[in-house]
């Protein structure tokens, strides 16, 4: 990463101009840009069509200037078509938080009717609960304290587990054992004990990130033949799948919008963990 750099990785707007080699898109079309800024096209992963694991993947807002600006230049390979029925502020957070949790469930081994657990009911988790319910999965939400119970149930969770009052793993076993647990919290130290809540061959899928290492009992991994996996957002076509599914099933992120001029205030609110649940910056069209 080099400075100066414009942050922001969930941008939505209209194409103002295109390079000579752009073929799919058109000026005036509504598009978005997610976390991934475009594949290189020549590494081994790209040659095998595995674009999500491109060895030279650029990150929007880190390697390329992002969406905290009135204009952005993006690779045609990073663009996402935005459905007309979605407002820009609705579509933006679905391009990262949305596709990450959507893919975690869609790519998992869970089948309709299986028990799945969503650990955390925050920026990622509140979307994961909605996706799980609308995918026909028996959904348990795990959060610390009773405060999130009403929210989790209103989002579609069938069960709420207060991790401050009971052992989530024991509760999940009492419910029959989870086929999949999606860990969305930002505290990896809480991930390892969840393995005991999985049923045979169950998966612990990690989408939350944090600085500290994850620790777990190896026996909890071996007995039951459990799997630990990670999900890295999604490709542009997977984001489009997420947007279309969200339209179909009325899945939306809970957002707070602020004008561009108040971007520092929104950023500070996010860092203080006061956002409920995604801060969205709206540009004023001149």
Residue 133: CATH number of its domain: 3.40.50.720
Decide: 168 and 115 in contact? Cβ < 8 Å.
no
Residue 270 covered by a domain: no
Q: Give yes or no: residues 157 and 202 share one domain.
A: yes
Separation between Cα atoms, residue 115 and residue 212, nearest integer Å: 29
The CATH number of residue 15's host domain is: 3.90.180.10
Residue 253 covered by a domain: no
Residue 208 covered by a domain: yes
Q: Give yes or no: residues 39 and 124 share one domain.
A: no
Report residue 14's pLDDT band, with 50, 70 and 90 as the boundaries.
very high
Report residue 286's pLDDT band, with 50, 70 and 90 as the boundaries.
very low
- Residue 186 tokens read as 């930002």
Q: Is residue 267's pLDDT more than 70?
A: yes
Decide: 56 and 40 in contact? Cβ < 8 Å.
yes
Last residue of a domain, one of 66, 92, 118: 92
- Work out the percent of the chain whose per-residue pLDDT is above 90: 94
The candidate with the shortest Cα–Cα distance to 276, out of 257, 254, 252, is 254
Residue 136 covered by a domain: yes
Q: Give yes or no: residues 46 and 113 share one domain.
A: no
The structural domain count of the chain equals 2
Residue 142 covered by a domain: yes
Report residue 285's pLDDT band, with 50, 70 and 90 as the boundaries.
low
Residue 157 covered by a domain: yes
Full residue range of the structural domain in which residue 135 is found:
108-230
pLDDT digit string (tens) for 216-249? Answer: 999 999 999 999 999 999 999 999 999 999 999 9
Residue 240 covered by a domain: no
pTM over 0.75: yes
Separation between Cα atoms, residue 202 and residue 117, nearest integer Å: 11
Separation between Cα atoms, residue 164 and residue 174, nearest integer Å: 17
| Mean pLDDT of the chain, nearest integer | 96
Q: Give yes or no: residues 160 and 123 share one domain.
A: yes
Separation between Cα atoms, residue 67 and residue 5, nearest integer Å: 11
Residue 241 covered by a domain: no
Better-scored residue on pLDDT, 46 or 267: 46
Q: Give yes or no: residues 42 and 119 share one domain.
A: no
Separation between Cα atoms, residue 141 and residue 138, nearest integer Å: 10
């Amino acid at each position: 990463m080099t400075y100066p750099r414009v942050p922001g990785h969930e941008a939505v707007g209209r194409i103002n101009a295109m390079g000579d080699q752009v073929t799919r898109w058109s000026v005036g079309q509504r598009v978005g840009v997610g976390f991934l800024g475009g594949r290189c096209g020549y590494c081994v992963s790209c040659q095998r069509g595995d674009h999500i694991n491109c060895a030279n993947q650029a990150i929007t807002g880190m390697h390329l200037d992002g969406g905290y600006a009135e204009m952005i230049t993006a690779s045609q390979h990073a663009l996402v078509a935005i459905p007309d029925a979605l407002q820009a502020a609705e579509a933006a957070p679905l391009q990262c938080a949305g596709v990450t949790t959507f893919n975690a469930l869609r790519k998992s081994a869970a089948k309709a009717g299986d028990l799945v657990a969503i650990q955390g009911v925050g920026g990622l988790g509140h979307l994961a609960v909605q996706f799980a319910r609308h995918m026909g999965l028996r959904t348990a939400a795990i959060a610390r304290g009773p405060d999130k119970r009403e929210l989790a149930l209103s989002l579609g969770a069938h069960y709420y587990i207060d991790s401050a009052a009971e052992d989530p793993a024991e509760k999940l076993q009492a419910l029959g054992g989870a086929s999949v647990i999606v860990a969305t919290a930002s505290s990896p130290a809480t991930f390892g004990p969840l393995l005991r809540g999985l049923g045979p061959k169950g998966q612990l899928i990690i989408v939350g990130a944090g600085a500290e290492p994850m620790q777990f009992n190896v026996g909890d991994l071996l007995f039951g033949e459990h799997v630990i996996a990670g999900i890295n957002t999604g490709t542009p076509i997977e984001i489009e799948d997420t947007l279309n599914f969200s339209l179909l099933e009325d899945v939306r992120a809970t957002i707070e919008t602020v004008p561009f001029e108040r971007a520092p205030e929104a950023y500070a609110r996010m860092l203080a963990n006061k956002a409920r649940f995604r801060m969205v910056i709206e540009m004023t069209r001149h």
